[in-house]
Amino acid sequence: MGKQISKENLKYYIKTFGCQMNERDSEKMAAALENKGFSPSLPQDADILMVNSCAVREKAEQKLYSFIGRLCLEKKKDAKLIVCGCVVQYKGKEILNRFKDVNAVLNTRRIEDFEQVLKDVLNGKRIMYIPSIMRNPNKILPHLKNRTGAFVDITYGCNNFCSYCIVPYTRGKEISREKEYIIKEIRMLTQGGVKEITLLGQNVNSYGKGLYKNYNFVDLLYDISKFDDIQRIRFVTSHPKDFSCSLILAIKEIDKVCKHIHLPVQSGSNRILELMRRKYTREEYIEKALLFKETTKGSITTDIIIGFPTETDYDFEQTMDMLRKIRFDFSFSFKYSPRPFTAAASTKERVPKETKEKRLEKFQNLQEKITWESNLRDVGKIFNVLVEGDAKRGALLTGRTTTNKIVNFSGEAKKGKIVKVVIQEAKKHSLQGNMEDSYGKFENQRCGFLRR
């Protein structure tokens, strides 16, 4: 049995790769540790170190191995190292064999059992914990305290099996949580001061399928909006095939629902969309996206895969045309990389690396221009911004608009309060301004500078 860690002044460190679902999983583990008296620290000072992995792209997996290697060198001799997340689902045994300083591997389907894994590790065991099913999706797992916003899982897993995507194999089949447990969790969060809820799922639009006959995601939004203490409701991610007119109307009608959707299109080419098994056409996507923008005056962000197998110049230009037509406020764009278990991984006809890089650069250059122009149009406007805390650089406070744009601004306000901010400057990926109460003072200072 290995040397046990002292119960005094316990510290932990956690590194998260990947999506909001991974962020929430990391928070569950961090909150469990803090409830046991641990406090966050730098990796070299930690008694427990955790790495939460992402398997969506090959690059993320390679980063994981490099990061684990560095932690093994930097950590204290008796510190325990746990590797979690999506990569563990299919590489857990390999990680334990490759890195002798890793004490445990834990997959996404049993984050609920993290405390038992922690107990085993602290008692000197070295274990691989990769159950095939999620035992209790309704279980309410802990949240970190003193937060303005909180993630709340409403579905786990995915049933879509897109030909490029490893998620159904790492997170399992889609399961919806019962609404009573979601509502109970949100009620607990409001009692702790949370003002903004972000509903999480690989496809939130399909919430309730297989669970209810006459209750769906739109119904859930209306129920959550009844909480007096919840000021804002966000959600990720939406699948275009399930994105409905009733949801667009709900976003328009419910004041608390933010006017922003993340709607991954992946490609603008019908031929590539069919190969990807996305189950919608470019025409259907464009119609829904433009209807959303026209109805809600909201913003759209998306995901793009460049260089999917057999993608031609024409297919790529269709994606560029999609960007010009919809003018996404922001997009997460990446070069295609084959993932284990997926249908596309066996496709022999691949797009050359140099071609993928040139196409990605062209797409990202146009996207940056569109994002910049969108931000410029906001200069001079007044937005309601939920104060999330101190800004990392320059401004005193930071928050987001209802359209999900980051705003750094000066003024005095408590975290969790919605304030009016006058936008003074557009940045590359954010806005800068002043609270409305201090706008007059700012203008006087600016005019005095101009007169000098």
Over residues 419-451, the pLDDT tens digits come to: 999 999 999 999 999 998 755 444 444 433 333
Mean pLDDT of 43-60: 96
Q: Cα separation of 234 and 250, whole Å?
A: 12
User: What distances in angstroms separate CA 199 from CA 91, 132, 142, one per listed residue?
Assistant: 29, 24, 16
Six token digits for residue 405: 């744009």
User: For residue 33, is pLDDT > 80?
Assistant: yes
Mean pLDDT check: name the lowest of 206-215, 269-278, 393-402. Answer: 393-402
pLDDT digits (tens, 9 = 90+) for 173-211: 999 999 999 999 999 999 999 999 999 999 999 999 999
pLDDT at 193: 95
Mean pLDDT of 69-75: 96
User: For residue 270, is pLDDT > 60?
Assistant: yes
Nearest Cα to Cα of residue 204 among 231, 179, 239: 239
Nearest Cα to Cα of residue 104 among 122, 43, 75, 90: 122
Mean pLDDT of 360-366: 98
Nearest Cα to Cα of residue 13 among 52, 41, 53, 34: 41
Report CA torsion sign: 134, 138, 139, 142: positive
Mean pLDDT of 282-307: 98
User: For residue 55, is pLDDT > 80?
Assistant: yes
pLDDT at 4: 52
pLDDT at 452: 31
Ramachandran sector of residue 436 (left: φ over 0; alpha: ψ -120 to 50; beta: rest): alpha
Q: Cα separation of 285 and 328, whole Å?
A: 13
Mean pLDDT of 157-179: 96
Q: Cα separation of 319 and 438, whole Å?
A: 44
Give ∠ CA 329-330-334 in degrees, rounded to 5: 150
User: For residue 213, is pLDDT > 90?
Assistant: yes
| pLDDT bracket for residue 264 (50, 70, 90) | very high
pLDDT digits (tens, 9 = 90+) for 119-155: 999 999 999 988 878 889 999 999 999 999 999 999 9
pLDDT at 393: 67
> Which domains are present in the chain?
11-129 (3.40.50.12160), 146-258 (3.30.750.210), 288-377 (3.30.750.200), 382-451 (2.40.50.140)
- Buried b / exposed e over 220-258, threshold 16 CB at 10 Å, is bbeebeebeebbbbbbbbbbbbbbeeebbebbeeeebbb
Mean pLDDT over the full length of the chain: 93
* Percentage of the chain lying above the pLDDT 90 cut: 89
| pLDDT bracket for residue 2 (50, 70, 90) | very low
Nearest Cα to Cα of residue 285 among 319, 241, 245: 241
Mean pLDDT check: name the lowest of 86-95, 253-262, 390-399. Answer: 390-399
Q: Cα separation of 190 and 196, whole Å?
A: 9
User: For residue 391, is pLDDT > 90?
Assistant: no
Task: Enter the pTM of the model.
Answer: 0.93
Mean pLDDT of 45-56: 97
Cβ partners under 8 Å of residue 45, min gap 6? 11, 13, 76
| pLDDT bracket for residue 282 (50, 70, 90) | very high
Which residues are bridge partners to 97 per DSSP? none
